[in-house]
Amino acid sequence: MTAPGSPPEPVADVLIVGAGVVGTAIARTLARYDLDCVIADAGNDVGTGTTKANTAILHTGFDAVPGSLESRLVRRGAELLRDYAQQAGIPLERTGALLVAWSADQHAEFAGIEDKARHNGYLAIRYVPAAELYAREPHLAPGALGALEIPDESIICPWTTPLAYATEAVRAGVRLRLRTRVLGVTAADGWHEVSTNSGSMRCRWLVNAAGLESDRIDAMLGGGGFTIAPRRGELIVFDKLARPLVGAILLPVPTPQTKGVLVAPTVYGNVLLGPTAQDVFDRGDTATTGTGLSSLLAAGRKIMPDLVREEVTATYAGLRAATEHRDYQIRVDSSRRYACVGGIRSTGLTASLGIAEYVADQLAEAGLELRERDGRRPKPPVLPYIGQAGRRPYQDGARIAADPAYGDIVCHCERVSRGEIRDALASPLPPADLDGLRRRTRATNGRCQGFFCAARVASLMGAPGGARADRDARVLA
């Protein structure tokens, strides 16, 4: 037995539970202070929860509930992330959005939507008559009456965003513990005793950023103010050859029940159709369903029939951490040295840096001492660029001249070179499996889904019986 008040193990200043986009953003924000900070996640990588499977839009918050915390943090988060993305090489495109009315009733709602946008501090919204709409989006199905343009809605990469945050945090000294599931938290004198599947941990402050499990972690700390009711969203990714069909994000007029099905380009050069909205019980149930996919195709046919005629590259589903409340569940409790950052349902990617800034402020107010480290502030890492709009290594003659591995294309559909795969495997946060490599490089994510390259990619990753990365080129040459 250890005497109370003198823990035998080092006590971390802060433990963040959950390395999704929210947890990693908080880690990255706290990293510049003189703190011993740990971030733990049950998954084998950062961003394996809802963060990896969403619609990937950097929202303006024009349609948020005015006056809500979400409205404020989405606006602030978008501003911060737009800037951060540019520094860190996170693919981002300002495509703008067009919210399209297909009926007189929907058209009549425009005034209310514009009004709401203004209440949310978004003034650039503007009406686009049908003729201009069709001039800009000629592949739109006939019958649209007009649209509202939200010129600042953007598309962003949901995979490199948490990766950049985590890389920055880890470089600044934050300890990342993957495959570490928090099972229970007990209060000790001045610290939390946290049990996990891989031993116990101690921390003075605990930040709950556990996404779909945030209510359960909250309950471990005596909370209980909310319950997560996962709402599944299924999406279809269309072939890159469909990309020229779509200019802006095409939004429907929302109903009180749902934001509806949208069509949006992705930063990888594909087109998304989705999401559905279905309440499910199982917090791990990210399976797609026959009814979900066919309902999307039916919706897609009404929005853009040409799109639905193109090949499908992928389908997936993500779970929104919805709760019985309409707003984020963010609270900091100084007596328990605990921050709850839960119920971040459908805007967390956008709001992440805004949430992190807000949580850091709240923590400071609650008594966590935030002293900037001596020396330089951590800087965003520069991640390999995996977007479609900018220049990729295979297009870059000078880069290939300097290192021919960038001219050795492995994944043909996505044009991912051996150099990029090698770099990802050697990065500070290397992928644990093929899915991790896909999120870092796009390898095998394309239309053939591995018909041509999965075998070689597996070899480069060191599959049993396969050649290793360095040997591979020679073996096949």
Partner 1 sequence: MNVDVLVAGAGPAGLAAAIELRKLGVADVVVVDREHQAGGIPRHCAHSGYGIRDLHRLMTGPAYAQHYRGAASAAGVTLRTGTTLTGWPATGCELATDAGAAPARQAGTITATLTSPAGVENVHAGAVLLATGCRERPRAARLVPGSRPAGVMTTGELQQRVYLHGQRLAGRAVIVGAEHVSFSAMLTLLHAGAEVTALVTDQPWHQSFAAFRLAARLRWRVPVWTGTAVAGIAGRDGVSAVLLRDDRDGSVRSVPCELVVFTGDWIPDHELARLAGAALDPGTRGPAVDTTLSTSVPGMFAAGNLIHAAETADVAALSGRHAAAHVAAYLAGQAAPAGQVALAGQAAPAGQAGGRCVPVPVMVAGPLRWISPNAISPVSPQPPGGRFVLRSAAFAGRARLQVRQDGRLLTSAHARLVPGRSIRLDGRWARHVDPAGGAVQVAVL
Ligand X SMILES: Cc1cc2nc3c(=O)[nH]c(=O)nc-3n(C[C@H](O)[C@H](O)[C@H](O)COP(=O)(O)OP(=O)(O)OC[C@H]3O[C@@H](n4cnc5c(N)ncnc54)[C@H](O)[C@@H]3O)c2cc1C
Interface residues with partner 1 (CB under 8 A) are 237, 240-241, 243-244, 269, 284, 286-290, 292-294, 311-316, 388, 394-397, 400-401, 404-405, 407-409, 412, 415, 433-434, 447-452, 454-456, 458-459, 463-467, 473, 476-477
Which of the residues 71 through 90 are near ligand X (CB under 6 A)?
A: none
Rounded CA-CA distance 160/337 in Å is 31
- Beta carbon nearer to partner 1, 357 or 396: 396
Handedness of CA 385, 78, 147, 256 (dihedral sign): positive
- Beta carbon nearer to ligand X, 243 or 373: 243
Task: Write the binding mask 25 to 44 for ligand X: x where contact by CB under 6 A, - elsewhere.
Answer: ---------------xxxx-
Count, residues near ligand X per rule CB under 6 A = 40
Q: Which of 20, 89, 252, 419 binds ligand X (CB under 6 A)?
A: 20
> Any idea what the Cα angle at residue 350 is, between residues 344 and 351, rounded to 5°?
55
- Contact between 293 and ligand X per CB under 6 A: no
b/e 283-298 (16+ beta carbons within 10 angstroms → b): beebebbeebbebbee
Question: Is beta strand 249-252 parallel, antiparallel or unpaired with respect to 97-101?
Answer: parallel
In the chain, the N- to C-terminal Cα span, in Å, equals: 63
- Contact between 213 and ligand X per CB under 6 A: yes
- Beta carbon nearer to ligand X, 204 or 259: 259
Torsion of CA 355, 358, 362, 364, to 10 degrees: 110
Question: Is beta strand 37-40 parallel, antiparallel or unpaired with respect to 12-17?
Answer: parallel
b/e 361-378 (16+ beta carbons within 10 angstroms → b): ebbeebebeeeeeeeeeb
Residue 470: which residues within 8 A CB-CB, separation 6 or more?
Answer: none
For tokens 């309902």, the residue is: 295
Q: How far is the CB of 454 from ligand X (least distance, A)?
A: 15
- Contact between 51 and ligand X per CB under 6 A: yes
- Contact between 19 and ligand X per CB under 6 A: yes
- Contact between 346 and ligand X per CB under 6 A: yes
Give the pair of three-digit tokens for residue 219: 């309950």
N residues, the chain: 477
Q: How many CB atoms lie within 10 A of CB 127?
A: 13
Task: Write the binding mask 176 to 195 for ligand X: x where contact by CB under 6 A, - elsewhere.
Answer: -----xx-------------
- Contact between 250 and ligand X per CB under 6 A: no
Q: Which of 350, 388, 441, 444 binds ligand X (CB under 6 A)?
A: 350
Q: How far is the CB of 312 from partner 1 (least distance, A)?
A: 5
Give the pair of three-digit tokens for residue 265: 């380009």
**Contact positions vs ligand X (CB under 6 A):** 17-23, 40-43, 48-51, 54-57, 59, 181-182, 209-213, 217, 233, 275, 318-320, 344-350
